[in-house]
A and B are shown apart, each in its own frame.
Chain A
Amino acid sequence: MRFGRTSKAVGVAAVAALALSACAANTGTETTEEGTEGEATGGNIRVVEVNAFSSFNSSTSEGNVDINGKIAYATHSGFVYINNDLEVVKNEDFGTMEVLSEDPLSVKYTVNEGVTWSDGEPVDGGDLLLAWAIESGYFNDSTTDDAGEVVSGATYFDYAGDTSGLGLTELPEIGEDGRSITLNYSEPFADYEVAFGLMSEGGIDTPAHVLAEKGGLADEDALIELINTTPAGDPESPVERPEIQALADFWNTGFDTKSLPTDPSLFLSNGPFIASAITPDQSMTLTRNEDYDWGPIPKVDEITVRYIGEAPAQVQALQNGEVDIIAPQASADTVEQLEGLEGVTVEQGNQLSYDHLDLNFSGVFEDENVREAFMKTVPRQQLVDTIVKKINPDAAPLDSQLFLTDQEPYEETAANNGSDAYAEVDIEGAKELLAGATPEVRIMYNRDNPNRLNSYTLIAESAAQAGFKIVDGGLGSSDWGAALGNGTYDATIFGWINSGVGVSGVPQIFKTANGSNFNGFSSPEADALMDELIVTTDPEEQDRIQIEIDKLIWDSKYGLPLFQVPGVDAYSDNVTGIEYMPNQTGVWWNFWDWQVVQ
Chain B
Amino acid sequence: MVTYIVRRLVTAVLILFGASFVVYQLTALSGDPLEDLRASNAPNRDQLIQARTELLDLNTPAPLRYFGWLAGAAKCIVPFAATCDLGSSIQGEAVTTSLSRAMGNTITLVATATVLAIIIGISLGIITALRQYSGLDYGVTFMSFLFFSLPIFWLAVLLKEFGAIGFNNFLDDPDIPPSTIAVVAIASGLIWALFASKSWKRKGIAFVLGAVVAAVLLFLLDLVGWFANPGLGPVVILVTGVGIAFGIVLLTAGLRNRKALYSSLIMVALGLVAYYVVNPVLNAATIWMIIILAVITVLVGLGVGYAMGGYDRSQSMRAAALTGLLMGFLIVVDRFMVTWPSYVSNPRVRGRPIATVGAETPGLEGTFWINGRDTFTHLLLPTLALLLASLASYSRYSRASMLEIMNMDYIRTARAKGLSERTVVMRHAFRNALIPLATLVAFDIGALIGGAIITEQVFAFSGMGQLFVQALQRTDPDPIMGFFLVAGILALVFNLVADIAYSVLDPRVRVKA
Q: B348 on the interface (CB 8 Å rule)?
A: yes
Instruction: Please indicate the chain B residues that have their CB under 8 angstroms from the CB of A497 in the complex.
Output: 40-42
* Residue B34 CB within 8 A of the other chain: yes
Q: Report the separation of the CA atoms of residues A279 and B92 in the bound assembly, to the nearest whole angstrom.
A: 17
Task: Say yes or no for B132: interface residue by CB 8 A criterion.
Answer: no
Secondary structure at the B interface, as helix, strand, loop or mixed, is helix
A232 nearest CB across to chain B (Å): 18
Contact of B59 among A18, A148, A280 (CB under 8 A): A148
Among A10, A147, A150, chain B packs the most CB atoms within 10 A around the CB of A10
Give chain B residues whose Cβ lies under 8 Å from the Cβ of A35: 341-343, 345-346
A-side contacts of B51, CB under 8 Å: 61, 155, 158, 160
A38-B364, A162-B43, A283-B358 known; A320-B265 Cβ under 8 A: no
Interface centre among B32, B41, B92, B341 (most CB of A within 10 A): B41
Is the beta-carbon distance between A62 and B92 smaller than 8 angstroms?
yes
- B43:A164 contact, CB within 8 angstroms: yes
Q: How far is the CB of B491 from chain A (nearest CB, A)?
A: 24
Q: How far is the CA of A533 from the CA of B13 in the complex (A)?
A: 63
If the complex has contacts A34-B367, A282-B358, are A481 and B347 also in contact, measured as CB distance less than 8 A? no
Q: Please determine whether B457 and A310 come into contact, CB atoms closer than 8 angstroms.
A: yes
Interface centre among B31, B36, B49 (most CB of A within 10 A): B31
Q: Do A65 and B365 contact each other (CB < 8 Å), given the known contacts A35-B345, A162-B43, A479-B32?
A: no
Q: For the complex, what is the distance from the CA of A112 to the CA of B36, rounded to whole Å?
A: 39
**Contact B34 A481, beta carbon cutoff 8 Å:** yes
Chain B residues with CB under 8 A of A280? 101, 462
Q: Are A516 and B45 in contact (CB under 8 A)?
A: yes
Residue with the greatest number of chain B CB neighbours at <10 A, chosen from A61, A63, A308? A61
Binds B, one of A19-27, A219-227, A289-297, A561-569: A19-27
A304 touches B363 (CB 8 A): yes
Is B300 an interface residue when CB atoms closer than 8 A count as contact? Answer: no
B312: min CB distance to chain A, Å: 16
**Does A515 contact B46, Cβ atoms closer than 8 Å?**
yes
A322 within 8 A of partner (CB): yes
The one of B46, B91, B164, B238 that contacts A18, using a Cβ cutoff of 8 Å:
B238
* Known A-B contacts A29-B334, A29-B335, A283-B358; A322 and B352 likewise in contact (beta carbons under 8 Å): yes
Instruction: Tell me the smallest distance from the CB of B197 to a CB of chain A, in Å.
Output: 32
B458 within 8 A of A: yes
Please tell me if the beta carbons of B168 and A321 are within 8 angstroms of each other in the complex: yes
| A residues 479-536 in Cβ contact with B at 8 Å | 479-482, 484, 494-497, 504-505, 507-509, 515-516
Contact A477 B31 (CB under 8 A): yes
Chain B min CB distance to A279 (Å): 7
C-beta contact mask, B348-368 vs A, less than 8 Å → 1, else 0? 101110111111101111110
A26 to B38, CA, bound (A): 69
Contact of A54 among B91, B161, B276 (CB under 8 A): B91
Contact B40 A516 (CB under 8 A): yes
Cβ of A309 within 8 Å of any chain B Cβ, yes or no, is: yes
Instruction: Report which of A28, A312, A320, A478 forms a contact with B234, defined as CB distance below 8 A.
Output: A28
Q: Does A55 contact B (CB under 8 A)?
A: yes
Choose among A31, A147, A306, A494 the residue that contacts B338 (Cβ–Cβ < 8 A): A31
A471 interface residue, CB < 8 Å from B? no
CB-CB under 8 A for A285 and B168, given A38-B348, A61-B48: no
Residues of B within 8 A of A29 (CB): 231, 279, 334-335, 338
CB distance from B27 to the nearest CB of A (A): 11
How far apart sit A75 and B481, CA to CA, in the bound complex (Å)? 35
B233–A309 touching, CB < 8 Å: no
Q: What is the CA–CA distance of A313 and B382 in the complex, to the nearest angstrom?
A: 13
**Interface status of A317 (Cβ within 8 A of chain B):** yes
Known: A21-B238, A54-B91. A279 touches B360 (CB 8 A): yes
Residues of A within 8 A of B394 (CB): none
Q: How far is the CA of A310 from the CA of B458 in the complex (A)?
A: 7
Interface string of A30-42 (1 = CB under 8 A from B): 1111111111100
A54 touches B92 (CB 8 A): yes
Q: Are A509 and B41 in contact (CB under 8 A)?
A: yes
Bound together, the chains give a CA A285 to CA B102 distance in angstroms of 21
Question: Is A26 a contact of B342 with CB atoms below 8 Å?
Answer: no
Q: Does A193 contact B (CB under 8 A)?
A: no
Within the complex, which residue of B38, B91, B460 is in contact with A63, where a contact is CB–CB below 8 Å?
A: B91
A26-B231, A306-B357 as given contacts; A32 in contact with B32, CB under 8 Å: no
Question: In the bound complex, how far is the Cα of B90 from the Cα of A508, in angstroms?
Answer: 26
Residues in A neighbouring B235, C-beta threshold 8 A: 21
B308 in the interface, Cβ–Cβ < 8 Å? yes
| Contact digits for B316-354, partner A, Cβ 8 Å, 1 yes 0 no | 000000000000000000110011011101111011101
Residues in A with CB closer than 8 Å to B334 are: 29
Count of B residues near A, CB < 8 Å? 98
A6 interface hit (Cβ, 8 Å): yes
Residues in chain B near residue A435, CB distance under 8 A: none
Q: Which residue from chain A places its CB closest to the CB of B33 in the assembled complex?
A: A478
B235's nearest neighbour on chain A, judged by CB, is: A21
CA distance A481 to B351 in the complex (A): 49
B348 with A26: CB separation less than 8 A: no
CA distance A62 to B334 in the complex (A): 49
Chain B 247-273 interface 0/1 with A at a Cβ cutoff of 8 Å (1 = within): 000000000000100100110011011
Determine if B157 and A312 form an interchain contact, defined as CB atoms under 8 angstroms apart: yes
- Report if A468 contacts B (CB, 8 A): no
A320 touches B160 (CB 8 A): yes
CB distance from B377 to the nearest CB of A (A): 11
Which residue of A has the minimal Cβ distance to B357?
Answer: A317
**Complex: A512 Cα to B302 Cα, angstroms:** 88
Q: Report B280 CB to chain A, min CB distance, Å.
A: 8
- Evaluate contact between B43 and A504: CB separation under 8 angstroms: yes
B506 to chain A minimum Cβ distance, whole angstroms, is 41
Beta-carbon contact of B355 and A320 below 8 Å: yes
* B93 CB-CB contact with A under 8 Å: yes
CA A289 – CA B346 in complex, angstroms? 24
A201 at the interface (CB under 8 A from B): no
- What chain A residues lie within 8 Å of B409 (beta carbons)? none
- Do B262 and A316 have beta carbons less than 8 Å apart? no
- Name the one of A34, A253, A306 contacting B358, with C-beta atoms under 8 angstroms: A306
For the complex, what is the distance from the CA of A484 to the CA of B460, rounded to whole Å? 35
B53 adjacent to chain A (CB < 8 Å): yes
The one of A17, A28, A316, A508 in contact with B45, judged by C-beta atoms closer than 8 angstroms, is A508
**A104: CB under 8 A from chain B?**
no
Report if A508-B42 is in contact (Cβ < 8 Å); known contacts: A17-B272, A61-B51, A313-B459. Answer: yes
Interface residue? A13 (CB, 8 A): yes
A13's closest neighbor in chain B, by CB? B269
A282–B343 CA distance with the chains assembled, in angstroms: 21
Does B55 belong to the interface (CB within 8 Å)? yes
Separation in Å of the B198 CB from the closest CB of chain A? 37
Cα distance, A249 to B346, chains bound together (Å): 44
B45: chain A residues at CB < 8 Å are 508, 515-516
Q: How far is the CB of B361 from chain A (nearest CB, A)?
A: 8
Interface hits, B379-406 → A, CB 8 Å: none
Indicate if the CB atoms of A478 and B355 lie closer than 8 Å.
Answer: no
Residues from chain A with a CB closer than 8 A to the CB of B16 are: none
State whether A162 touches B44 (Cβ < 8 A).
Answer: yes
Residue from A65, A282, A316, A496 within 8 A of B91 (CB atoms): A65
| Contact B32 A37, beta carbon cutoff 8 Å | no
In the complex, the answer to whether B338 meets A482 with C-beta atoms within 8 Å is: no
The 5 closest A-B pairs by CB, nearest first: A281-B462, A481-B38, A13-B269, A21-B234, A283-B362
- Residue ranges of B at the interface with A (Cβ–Cβ < 8 Å): 29-32, 34-55, 59, 90-93, 97-98, 101-102, 105, 157, 160-161, 164-165, 168, 231, 233-235, 238, 259, 262, 265-266, 269-270, 272-273, 275-276, 279-280, 283, 308, 334-335, 338-339, 341-343, 345-348, 350-352, 354-360, 362-367, 369-370, 457-460, 462, 466, 470, 475
A20-B273, A481-B35, A496-B41 known; 11 new pairs, CB 8 Å cut-off, are: A13-B266, A17-B272, A20-B272, A26-B234, A28-B276, A34-B367, A285-B362, A320-B164, A320-B355, A482-B38, A516-B40
A-B contact pairs, 5 of them (CB 8 A): A16-B269, A21-B235, A34-B367, A283-B358, A304-B362
